[in-house]
Amino acid sequence: MEIVFDAKKEIESKLENLDEVSKMSILIDELKNENNNVRLYCVKHLTNIAEVLGKERTEEELIPLLIDLIINFETEDEILLELSNQFVLLVINIYLN
């Protein structure tokens, strides 16, 4: 649990005093961070990223990025599971709202 808290502190310190778009940009960049806990933290905030990006940019930019992460980058089961959960939420939010 301490490790996850440290990842949260690390990310939140980077987001301090930034506008929403800049914060989302950092969270997107951190999806490829070497630290599993940082990646997991960012994955858990994908719906926040999608809200800021809007429907069109989520469809055109975020979802293809996530597919690429799943296919070519991510190897940790816990993160893949959370990615799949968040992916479902993104699709629901985009197409049912």
- The two tokens of residue 46 are 């994908």
Residue indicated by tokens 């690390």: 10
Dump pLDDT digits (tens) for 3-20. 455 777 877 787 788 888
Higher pLDDT, 94 or 1: 94
- Confidence category of residue 81, pLDDT binned at 50, 70, 90: very high
Rounded to 10°, the helix 20-29/2-15 angle is 140
Rg, C-alpha atoms of the chain:
13
The percent of residues above 70 in pLDDT, for the chain, comes to: 94
Could you tell me the pTM of the whole model? 0.79
Distances, alpha carbon 85 to alpha carbons 14, 19, 43, 90, in Å: 25, 27, 10, 9
For Cα atoms 60, 86, 1, give the angle at the middle one, nearest 5 degrees. 135
